[in-house]
Amino acid sequence: MCGRFASWNDKNQILEHFGLSTGPEVAAGYNITPSSNIPVIRFLDGKELFNCHWGLIPHWARDRKLSPINARAESLSSKPFFRDSFKKRRCLIPANGFYEWQATQGRKQPYYIKVKDRELFAFAGLWDHWDNPEQSLDSCAIITTGANEAMRPVHDRMPVILDPKYYDAWLEQGGMELLVPYGSELDIHPVSLRVNSPKNQGPELIAPV
């Protein structure tokens, strides 16, 4: 799964990386938690950057009680909760890295994981738009898959990290063949237990310990 991540680039850096010309201001953080407002790229008339609630609420839902932050790649086409978004509303979620916890010696040690050859990358995601008489909300979920060899000692799942050459293909056509464990090198290192608290922010959270 992916329950915490870091995304600290500003709007202009995100626009440049994803080949966009304009977009809203975005929130940045070193310890992004579920229900946060996060930057997302989707394809409507063209690629666009927008802000999105992390926790997917389908357009047909009666309320916001169920809003998963992750969607398993293996069941996207079969689970009604995700099936429509998988067909019609795919997205890219900018990130600099993510956290995972490994059970060791009676406690859980947090690790920070990032792509080794570049600072900014993208998770594959799904989005939807939900309305009721009192509120309108865009929301999203990060797609997860089985862990690659480097990630497996820490956790058996990981978010789908897309190669930049597949960004447009994911947004415009989709395809299960893109939802595979990351094939290049990762940098994985233990970090401070301070990341356990959602109140803590700052670059010290990703520093090796």
Using alpha carbons, list the distances in angstroms from residue 15 to 19, 118, 171: 6, 16, 16
Instruction: Output the furthest CA–CA distance in the chain (Å, rounded).
Output: 52
Q: Find the catalytic residue in 2, 52, 91, 140.
A: 2
Q: Which of 25, 48, 52, 100 is catalytic?
A: 100
Q: Mark whether 2 is an active-site residue.
A: yes
- Look up residue 161 and give its amino acid: I
Please calculate the CA angle 175-185-194 and round it to the nearest 5 degrees.
Answer: 100
Q: Is the dihedral of CA 168, 174, 177, 183 positive or negative?
A: positive
Residue with tokens 């978004």: 85
Catalytic residue numbers, as ranges = 2, 100
